[in-house]
Chains A and B, each alone.
Chain A
Amino acid sequence: MLTVRQVSRRYGETVALEGLSLEVPADTYMSLLGASGSGKTTLLRLIAGFEEPDAGQIALDGTRLDGKPPHQRDIGFVFQNFALFPHLSVAQNVAFGLRYRAANPLTDNEEIRARSEAALELVGLKGFGHRGIGAISGGQRQRVALARTLVCEPRIVLLDEPLGALDANLRARMCDELKAIRERLGVSFLHVTGSETEALTMGDRVAVLSGGRIVQADAPERLFAEPANAQAARHLNAWNIFDAGLCAGGGAGQLGVRFDQIDISAPGQAPGAHLRLPARFLAGEFNGPTALSFFRAADGSLLQVTDHLSQPRLPDLVEGQDYDLHFAPQTARQFPGAAR
């Protein structure tokens, strides 16, 4: 189990991480969701030892990691740009760690070859060993990077936006494969991403990083259905968050309502039991299986409503007209604090 306790990291005046705590249990696929610039890469670099925290502790299975040089930490790292060794072949890349590592390197060429081959087979690249790094595709490089890390049997694997450089089709396939590979090996993965779909698909647990700390860490279903606070909800890209005062009887603080749980009717036509929120229709956006409609509320905040193509429930909307958005009170989540 990896434990990060009260870790802070500043770059001059900029605060990247502020008292961040996180636990990654053993044999878990954990995804870490954060916007770009939220410090998620910094966190990985601190865990890997490429940088040191200004304060706080990092421990793996009870042993302190911070202060140890990176090559003694036994942590795998998969880089966003893969960082393969350009002067070596695929097989040499995979064998690199086994051959040259400081702690019990392998000297038996036959064993190195067998283990590299097994690692390449694990990631579906059997027979690619002799190729050059330039002679394989982006998805294959991703697999080589993974094989190179896994063959050393690290105690935990950190993945820094590993699918960011791949196209959408490949990304979906690699998602499944990453999950399957991890389950076969039983080692924990900590996967950093800026995409909420990726985080929710991959993770057994999902942690949301915002404002330099973890605002929520939960099972993906629970996180999606019941975000604990406005910051977590905002990262899921599925929740409208607005000042509760906009709705008559909405109470204090902020309200969060999922895009797909809001209904629309002409002004004054909303069912009495529902909370009502007057807003002006701005524009619609069609993106395949779903359609998004954008509304502007009285205080200027932007609201989104999703409609599923197979089960349309919205009336025909005219741009620039006022409507009542309404939702059942129990679907809304109450967050403390003022609107952003």
Chain B
Amino acid sequence: MESRILRPTLGLYAAAFLLFLYGPMIVLTILSFQGPEGGPQFPVQDWSLYWYKQLLGLSEASRVAQLPVGDSLLRSITLAFMTTVVSTVLGVMSAEAFRTRFKGSGPAFYLIILGMMVPGVLVGLGMALLSSTLGISRAWWGTSFVLHVVYTYPFAFLVMLAIFNRFDRTVEEAALSLGVSPAQTFRRVTFPIIFPGVLSAMLFSFTLSYDEFARTLFTAGRDLTLPLAIYGTFSVEIHPNIFAFGVLTTLFSFTLLVIYGLLMKRFTNRAARFAGQEDNG
């Protein structure tokens, strides 16, 4: 592809694409450094960290009420964590089951996948109706949690299915033939080999649950999760403290991503040192 026009054009296109992709985020970040008198729009009055301080309750009395996000942030992280654990465990177990053909595996597959296909608002509404019919009170750790698992579990399942698809079964058989029990074989052979996939499944589950809105809207009950709390503040008035908060949560998500990357790198480095035998056998 040694074209003098094509490469710069493609480069320009990629740059424009990235700008478009991150444009909203960039605008948000710039506006979060708005001065105390500025509003949620351009121009920026004067650059300051005022809204960050205001958000963390470090500023003097303010004309704007503090964002009611502290508790909801904690709730969202807890919920995302619970969802991650349950979805990943379920995903690994069911993908393991799908390694062998069993009766009804076809319908079972589509039933699992359905969880990520059905519209979130409808499922949320349905769950709200169901819980009121059954007399179960709605809560983020109950009704919402169930829906988050239903939603993220198919993603974890699909990731693990792809991992098991290219998994060399003979290494497990080798362990069995050495007299190692199936449980120990899973722990000592299967799990270490599929670990990168498990990590990806966890990342998927966490991020999907962390900012899930539609399913949570009808099912969270009295205590709000973070996306609901932020949305709630919109209905009053928008101040740049929301932007500041947006930047901080993005940094948090980015930290998770970095941790994921580091773990992955550490693992693949080790795997490369003991590179798989099928590559250069």
Residues of A whose CB lies within 8 Å of any CB of B are: 48-50, 69-77, 79, 81-89, 96-97, 100-103, 132-135, 138, 141, 145, 148-149, 152, 154, 165
Contact = CB atoms under 8 A, between A and B. Distances in A.
A148 B281 contact: no
Given A71-B176, A85-B171, A165-B281, 12 more contacts: A50-B173, A71-B180, A75-B177, A76-B178, A83-B170, A87-B271, A96-B175, A96-B180, A138-B281, A141-B277, A141-B281, A145-B174
21 contacts: A50-B176, A71-B180, A71-B181, A72-B179, A73-B177, A75-B177, A79-B170, A81-B170, A83-B173, A85-B171, A86-B274, A86-B276, A87-B270, A87-B271, A96-B178, A97-B179, A103-B179, A133-B274, A134-B275, A134-B279, A134-B280
A21 B170 CA distance: 26
Contacts of B270: 87
A86 B182 contact: no
A143 to B, nearest CB: 13
A86 B180 contact: no
Contacts of B273: 132, 134-135
B173 A84 contact: no
Given A85-B171, A88-B274, A89-B274, A74 B179 contact: yes
Contacts of B181: 71, 102
A103 B55 CA distance: 61
Nearest 7 pairs of A and B residues by beta carbon = A134-B275, A97-B178, A101-B179, A132-B274, A83-B170, A77-B177, A83-B174
A101 B193 contact: no
Contacts of A74: 179
Contacts of B185: 71
Given A86-B275, A100-B188, A134-B275, A152 B179 contact: yes
Contact of A77 (B173, B277, B279, B280): B173
A148 B177 CA distance: 10
B57 interface: no
Nearest to B170: A83
Nearest to A104: B179
Nearest to B174: A83
Contact of A148 (B168, B178, B272): B178
Give the interface size bracket for B toward A.
Answer: 20 to 34
Contacts of A83: 168, 170-171, 173-174, 277
A70 B274 contact: no
Given A87-B192, A87-B270, A102-B181, A82 B276 contact: no
B200 to A, nearest CB: 17
Contacts of B271: 86-87
B180 A97 contact: yes
Contact of B277 (A48, A75, A97, A133): A133
A90 to B, nearest CB: 9
Given A81-B278, A133-B275, A71 B182 contact: yes
Contacts of A154: 177
A190 to B, nearest CB: 13
A89 B271 CA distance: 10
Contact of A86 (B175, B178, B184, B277): B277
B163 interface: no
